[in-house]
Chains A and B, each alone.
Chain A
Amino acid sequence: MILKFRIFRYDPEKDDAPYYQSFEIEADPKDRILDCLNRIRAEKDPTLSFRMSCGHGVCGSDGMRINGTSSLACQKLAKDFKESEEVLIEPLQVFRVIKDLVVDMDPFFERYYSVKPYLITRTPPPDTERLQSVEEHRKFEDAIRCILCACCTASCPVNQDKATAGYIGPAALVRAFRYLFDSRDEGREERIALLDNKDGAWGCQTRWMCTKVCPKEIPVTKEIFEIKKRILESKKGKK
């Protein structure tokens, strides 16, 4: 099939402003959009820049907007698009564009790190493993699928709004959830202190965009809701 693309281009080294460029290539219906972008680089314009690594939805490199929706280019197939219409490719929102589809991920990883994404324990570990039941494990199992692709954070209306852009965003909260609900973790109080504020869990206005776009089908909004519940529970417990 012939597939048409309209791609966001911007290289601050030489462009005064971003612009869109159209390409047309021959694609197999089973090709990934990532394959198509690589073909554009190989056959039409080698200066097009985007990140990629695994090619099959496990590394989180190639989050971008495809026809307006944040997705992984390696998870979308040519056959899902119409030959008659241009496929619109743009960088993720919320983040600063460095070049073409490459955005600055530093702020994303800083916020991610701010939720203390590691197991906090006080009791010394046993000689073998800490025990955890299958049910306890299941509580946070969805969250460990996260590949930090930032599709959710980039699509969140709260993060997009300049007035509330300080919100740490759904991806960081998914990681916070993963530790808050891990039965082995002993850092509940410090975690809750970190999350219990307007730019933490309360920043979320339950608008579901994150859940809709997550390529790993993580129930993001629900997990944020669970965090809120746990904050309230722990406050009640203290009174």
Chain B
Amino acid sequence: MNFKHDIVIVGAGLAGLRAAVECVEEADVAVVSKVLPTRSHSGAAQGGITASIGNEEEDHWEWHMFDTVKGSDYLADQDAVEIMVKDAPRVIYELEHMGVPFSRNKDGKIAQRNFGGHTSEYGKKPVKRACYASDRTGRVVLDTLYDQCLRHRVKFYQEHYVLSLVFEDKKCAGLITYDLSSGELNLIEARAVLLATGGCGRIFKTTSNGFASTGDGLNLAHRAGIPLMDMEFVQFHPTGLYPLGILVSEAARGEGGILRNSLGERFMERYAPTVKDLAARDVVSRAILTEVREGRSFEGGYVHLDLTHLGEKKIIERLWEITSFVRIYLGIDPVYEPIPVYPTCHYLMGGIPTDTDGRVLQDESDAIAQGLYAAGECACVSVHGANRLGCNSLLDTLVFGRRCGMAMKADISKIEHQPVSDEPLEKAKEMLAGLLYHKGYEKIDVVRRNMQSLMMDYCSVFRDEEGLKKELESIRSLKMRFNDVEIVDKGKNFNYELMEAIELGHQLDLAEVILLSALYRKESRGAHFREDFPVRDDTNFLKHTLVFKGQEVRYKPVVITRFQPEARVY
């Protein structure tokens, strides 16, 4: 079937829905999502959204900006960061007016809490900057935005999987979707296409990300010739529930939780004397794994997150969800016992390069890819640089989702629908038939588990040249094996096996891009730590990596406005 809309948004997480709400009054908008919209992974966000509204103590956007830039290890583009932190208070009030049920303080205002790396007076002490709804902030914001979309009659193509982007005359003119419930292919023509497809944590064995976080949108863009930026920067969150990797929000430390090693020591005092457990995530993750390496962890390689001194009332009120996970999955009650935690793959700082209005950039000269936009975790504006601070991601999705909506609304008056040939649809058909009917013998699950273990072993918190090179070879041979994958299910009705095969193809391509980016960056910055190059090298590497189709690696400069790079200590 063929459909036509002014604007098509891929992804029903916060970035996609915020953009939809922005332009639905003036344009015909459709949202495509491979899961039912409210199942999008934004709903799993726990801790909060940052804004310097100062409801608990003095705060300023300049402090928020400094912390974000320092957190990024000076790789974030400071013009973009400034836009984001200045817009943050408006974002929070706007959500509140839409109905988001934020938790309240005793004055009846929106309550705020501490989060890692957020400080007052440029690093002096932690500041309460994260606005939250208990530990289900993402859930309630996603629900509120979804309801706004329904109210404004946004068209949803739900449980539709986007197979490819359609380009005509170098302009993005729409996309091809596979309807999971019927197995039919559709061409959806559009004057503007927004990719808001989220992250790719599922490339790694241990992750806080949901099953849908396979990075499809990133690779759809890459296959269409768009470079991917800063892909070596993958965040490992320090406190994944051991051994599942499920997130235990930083809110737990924001509320006073303490990390302890097997000797009972509060080891973060040694790694970050000023802010201790509230240092940036890359710092805390490395600290935990250093404790593990030096033999001060518990058997299996984890440490303890201790909340027992907080008291039941506070724990239940502010950390209900994580208390419930810990009780269900480990049979441990965090009110009385410490929680076993270890680092878990959490967030992709890199992504599809965009300008500050979400327009996709196709090379280092910042030339715009007409008709194509990106926002949210799959985009790289870049506001997070080499390491994202907690609660800055939801902010990113909301600020740049909206800006992207505004830009699309403005741009479509200048863009006509491009006539689309039959070719993209035919190609998609061939691709599916190829997957389904060639003779294969490899199993998706086996190839996938191999990839996940490799990425975990050689490309997670600690990296070095030897490991990365070895892994690159292994991933390349896995890609060969992937060509021989067998799909048993030939049906058209919710054929998840077929969908997962396509996802795996994306994951393998992205793994290779991540490895290449990591191999070429011979320094340590933020989440990218090279044991063979353990210090930051601003002379040679204060620049963004771009990996083009065909694996060509190029660079572009970082935008520095207010804060010159300094040594990064917490």
Binding site for B on A (CB under 8 A): 11-14, 30, 32, 41-43, 45-47, 49, 51-61, 75, 77, 98-100, 102, 105, 113, 117-119, 121, 125, 127-134, 136-137, 140-141, 144-145, 147-148, 178-179, 182, 184-185, 217
The answer to whether A58 touches B139 (Cβ under 8 A) is yes
The answer to whether A47 touches B488 (Cβ under 8 A) is yes
Interface size on B, residues (CB 8 A): 62
When C-beta atoms are compared, the residue in chain A nearest to B109 turns out to be: A129
16 inter-chain pairs at a CB distance below 8 angstroms, sorted by A residue, are A53-B41, A58-B136, A61-B35, A98-B493, A99-B493, A100-B494, A117-B143, A118-B99, A125-B97, A130-B96, A134-B106, A144-B133, A144-B140, A145-B321, A147-B139, A185-B99
List CB contacts (< 8 Å) of B99-157 with chain A: 99, 101-110, 133-134, 136, 139-140, 143-144, 147-148, 150-151
Quick one: which of B38, B44, B92, B492 has the most chain A CB within 10 A?
B38
Select B99's contact among A46, A113, A119, A145, beta carbons within 8 Å. A119
User: Beyond A118-B147, A118-B148, A133-B108, is A77–B101 a contact (Cβ under 8 Å)?
Assistant: no
When C-beta atoms are compared, the residue in chain B nearest to A39 turns out to be: B445
Q: B97: which A residues are within 8 A, CB to CB?
A: 119, 121, 125, 129-130
The answer to whether A133 touches B139 (Cβ under 8 A) is no
Query: Is B491 part of the binding interface, using a Cβ–Cβ cutoff of 8 Å?
Result: yes
B414 to A: closest C-beta gap in Å:
33
When C-beta atoms are compared, the residue in chain A nearest to B133 turns out to be: A144
The answer to whether B493 touches A42 (Cβ under 8 A) is no
Q: B324: which A residues are within 8 A, CB to CB?
A: 57, 217
Select A46's contact among B151, B210, B497, beta carbons within 8 Å. B497
A14 to B: closest C-beta gap in Å:
7
The answer to whether A59 touches B144 (Cβ under 8 A) is no
Q: A46: which B residues are within 8 A, CB to CB?
A: 444, 487-489, 497
Query: Is B320 part of the binding interface, using a Cβ–Cβ cutoff of 8 Å?
Result: yes
Q: A102: which B residues are within 8 A, CB to CB?
A: 494
**How far, in whole Å, are A102 and B36 apart by their CA atoms in the complex?**
12
B377 to A: closest C-beta gap in Å:
15
Quick one: which of A77, A125, A140, A144 has the most chain B CB within 10 A?
A144
A160 to B: closest C-beta gap in Å:
23
Q: B437: which A residues are within 8 A, CB to CB?
A: none
The answer to whether B445 touches A42 (Cβ under 8 A) is yes
When C-beta atoms are compared, the residue in chain A nearest to B492 turns out to be: A13
Select A137's contact among B98, B103, B136, B144, beta carbons within 8 Å. B103
Quick one: which of A41, A43, A129 has the most chain B CB within 10 A?
A129
The answer to whether B93 touches A129 (Cβ under 8 A) is yes
What are the interface flags for B188-211 relative to A under an 8 Å C-beta threshold, 1 for contact and 0 otherwise? 000000000000000000000011
Select B325's contact among A52, A57, A178, beta carbons within 8 Å. A57
The answer to whether A55 touches B39 (Cβ under 8 A) is no
Q: B38: which A residues are within 8 A, CB to CB?
A: 59-60, 147-148
Apart from A54-B210, A128-B109, A147-B38, what are 10 other A-B pairs with CB-CB below 8 Å?
A11-B493, A51-B35, A56-B246, A60-B38, A99-B493, A136-B104, A137-B104, A144-B139, A148-B38, A179-B99
B39 to A: closest C-beta gap in Å:
4
B156 to A: closest C-beta gap in Å:
10
Binding site for A on B (CB under 8 A): 35-36, 38-41, 43-44, 53, 92-93, 96-99, 101-110, 133-134, 136, 139-140, 143-144, 147-148, 150-151, 181, 210-212, 244, 246, 320-321, 324-325, 328-330, 443-445, 487-489, 491-497
Closest 5 CB pairs of A and B: A119-B99, A42-B445, A131-B108, A49-B494, A53-B39
Q: A147: which B residues are within 8 A, CB to CB?
A: 38, 43, 139
The answer to whether B211 touches A57 (Cβ under 8 A) is no
User: Beyond A42-B443, A125-B97, A134-B106, is A55–B493 a contact (Cβ under 8 Å)?
Assistant: no
**How far, in whole Å, are A185 and B147 apart by their CA atoms in the complex?**
15
The answer to whether B36 touches A105 (Cβ under 8 A) is yes
The answer to whether B496 touches A49 (Cβ under 8 A) is yes
The answer to whether B147 touches A117 (Cβ under 8 A) is yes
The answer to whether A132 touches B104 (Cβ under 8 A) is yes
User: Beyond A47-B491, A99-B494, A182-B99, is A30–B329 a contact (Cβ under 8 Å)?
Assistant: yes
Q: A184: which B residues are within 8 A, CB to CB?
A: 99
Q: B497: which A residues are within 8 A, CB to CB?
A: 41, 46-47
A1 to B: closest C-beta gap in Å:
16
Select A145's contact among B44, B108, B320, B496, beta carbons within 8 Å. B320
Q: B99: which A residues are within 8 A, CB to CB?
A: 118-119, 179, 182, 184-185
B412 to A: closest C-beta gap in Å:
27
**How far, in whole Å, are A137 and B150 apart by their CA atoms in the complex?**
25
When C-beta atoms are compared, the residue in chain A nearest to B490 turns out to be: A47
A176 to B: closest C-beta gap in Å:
12
The answer to whether B104 touches A134 (Cβ under 8 A) is yes
User: Beyond A11-B491, A57-B325, is A52–B211 a contact (Cβ under 8 Å)?
Assistant: yes
Q: B102: which A residues are within 8 A, CB to CB?
A: 129
The answer to whether A98 touches B181 (Cβ under 8 A) is yes
The answer to whether B491 touches A59 (Cβ under 8 A) is no
Q: B144: which A residues are within 8 A, CB to CB?
A: 118
When C-beta atoms are compared, the residue in chain B nearest to A10 turns out to be: B493
The answer to whether A141 touches B212 (Cβ under 8 A) is no
**How far, in whole Å, are A130 and B98 apart by their CA atoms in the complex?**
11
Q: A113: which B residues are within 8 A, CB to CB?
A: 147, 150
User: Beyond A46-B488, A144-B133, A145-B136, is A55–B210 a contact (Cβ under 8 Å)?
Assistant: yes
**How far, in whole Å, are A148 and B564 apart by their CA atoms in the complex?**
47
Q: B212: which A residues are within 8 A, CB to CB?
A: 53
The answer to whether A53 touches B210 (Cβ under 8 A) is yes
The answer to whether A61 touches B150 (Cβ under 8 A) is no
Q: B98: which A residues are within 8 A, CB to CB?
A: 118-119
When C-beta atoms are compared, the residue in chain A nearest to B98 turns out to be: A119
**How far, in whole Å, are A32 and B325 apart by their CA atoms in the complex?**
12
User: Beyond A47-B491, A137-B103, is A58–B44 a contact (Cβ under 8 Å)?
Assistant: yes
**How far, in whole Å, are A133 and B151 apart by their CA atoms in the complex?**
28
Q: A131: which B residues are within 8 A, CB to CB?
A: 107-109
Select B328's contact among A55, A75, A100, A144, beta carbons within 8 Å. A75
Q: A125: which B residues are within 8 A, CB to CB?
A: 93, 97
The answer to whether B108 touches A132 (Cβ under 8 A) is yes
The answer to whether A47 touches B36 (Cβ under 8 A) is no
When C-beta atoms are compared, the residue in chain A nearest to B446 turns out to be: A42
Select B321's contact among A12, A45, A58, A185, beta carbons within 8 Å. A58
The answer to whether B103 touches A55 (Cβ under 8 A) is no
Q: B150: which A residues are within 8 A, CB to CB?
A: 113, 117
